[in-house]
Structure 1
Amino acid sequence: MSVCRRAAITANSSLAKVASIPTPFSKSPIPFLPPPKHVKFDYGVQVALTRQRAKSFSPFLSTPTNMSVIAGFQGGQQVRYAHTDVCKYPNFDYYRRDSTRDPTKSQSETEVDRKMVSYLVVGVGLSVFAVGAKQLVRATVNFLNPSKAVLAVSKLEVDLASIPEGKNAVFKWREKPLFIRHRTDAEVDSVASVSLEELRDPETDQDRVKDPKFLVLLGICTHLGCVPISHAGEYGGYYCPCHGSHYDASGRIRKGPAPLNLEVPPYSISDSGVLVVG
């Protein structure tokens, strides 16, 4: 539909509204009905009819070429019914989302579709941030951990054949005292026959040693960190002179304030009889 034809229809409908206003000289509105919809529109005929109808209520309108409508009780307001300088209205649907192009849908109906992209972008951003934070924390923790060279030096190798039976050898491992005890058969049988019900920290001797003849312990009392004395105490194992904790030949607490058994460090024994701690 052309702009001029659309303007004529607009003017005709506006005049119909104005024509229905009651006049001061008559209580009934000016009889004016728009043409039926099935009548074919003729621009020239409609312009002539419009001019003729405008003359019938000239007290309320100026000349037909400069028509006005009554605004309130004081005076008229100029209205322009046609625009001849606009040929095509701009259409911005190309820049709108598909979910917002339908004017018949409410905001609540398109909310999920409109926010889906935002949710996706935020989710991907949070995932990337989490992965980056994880790598940063891992790099920081690995930086604080000892290097491979330090860990290599922290290992201790001991030839078990160099420790006589019945003796307790003391070494330094990672700035801590390390006890390696070559037990006799009597000591092995003695600690193996102890019931778990008698122990404060129940643990069998088989769980604490890899070779029944050799016991490997950290020489630090579990009470306050003192260094126990070997082959001492009421149970023939270790005795802490600081507060009187007694351990048996398996390093298990039997009497005194210590709450736990002596710690067993990670170690392995090779087929050649070399013990590697760490």
Structure 2
Amino acid sequence: MFREDATLEHTNTAEPSRRDFLYLATGAVGAVGVGAVAWPFIDQMNPDASALALASIEVDISAIEVGQSITVKWRGKPVFIRQRTEKEVSEAKAVKPEDLPDPIARNLNLEANAAATDVNRSAVGKEAWLVMVGVCTHLGCVPLGEEGDFGGWFCPCHGSHYDTAGRIRKGPAPENMLIPPFQFVSDETIKIG
């Protein structure tokens, strides 16, 4: 049946067929179609213009008297801005971080492990000013100002007491209230964010 002198040549140099082209073109159109369908779903996850506009705000603090607080909204959360009295500042400075339930400052302007001293909870050279996100770190309630056992903030929902530097002193809250990124643009204006 087989001849010994017969040589079989097998070459694999066939030209691409029309079928190969149709497969590639169909795959490319399908990939573009999937991308076109997926893009609106991906794009809707981006923050809207109103959220981007609130990424940073400037607050005029010229009308805030010593011992007064205001609440502003930043990124959908309340931010307490308080010009503390000398008594409030001295009481807060007297507390040692190691005596606190949360010895970390939680100040986004400092290193993550900065101690919760009063100076690390306020602005350098502007220690009377306290700027913090007004949300209880237990379950996200909004604490009441100038309340509680330490004269700072009190969350009536579950009984968390914060001092005049916004540090947790008593109750179920695990952390001090957060200090957002902020800076003094001038003596009368604070930029948050």
Q: TM-score, normalised by structure 2?
A: 0.67
Change (3 A) 1:149 1:172: closer
Change (3 A) 1:186 1:142: farther
Residue 109 of structure 2 is aligned to residue 192 of structure 1: no
Change (3 A) 1:213 1:148: same
Residue 119 of structure 2 is aligned to residue 218 of structure 1: no
**Residue 229 of structure 1, aligned match among 122, 134, 144:** 144
Secondary structure in 1 matching 2:91: helix
Secondary structure in 1 matching 2:142: coil
Change (3 A) 1:192 1:242: same
**Residue 120 of structure 2, aligned match among 200, 204, 207:** 207
Q: Measure how far apart 1:248 and its partner are.
A: 0.4
* RMSD, aligned CA: 3.0
Structure with greater helix share of residues: 1
Deviations 1:210-245 (A, max 9, x none): 231211112221122222111111111111112221
**Match for residue 92 of structure 1?**
9
Deviations 1:138-185 (A, max 9, x none): 996664121455311453321121211111112223332221110122
Mapped partners of 1:141, 1:269: distance in 2: 37
**Match for residue 17 of structure 2?**
none
Residue 191 of structure 2 is aligned to residue 273 of structure 1: no
Question: Which one has more relative contact order, counting CA pairs under 8 Å at least 6 apart?
Answer: 2
Mapped partners of 1:138, 1:237: distance in 2: 48
**Match for residue 128 of structure 1?**
none
Mark the structure with the bigger radius of gyration.
Answer: 1
Unaligned runs of 5+ in 2: 13-37, 104-115
Instruction: Kindly provide the amino acid, as one letter, of the partner of residue 152 in structure 1.
Output: A
Q: Measure how far apart 1:187 and its partner are.
A: 1.6
Identity of aligned residues (%): 42
Mapped partners of 1:173, 1:188: distance in 2: 25
Unaligned runs of 5+ in 1: 1-78, 97-136
Secondary structure in 2 matching 1:151: helix
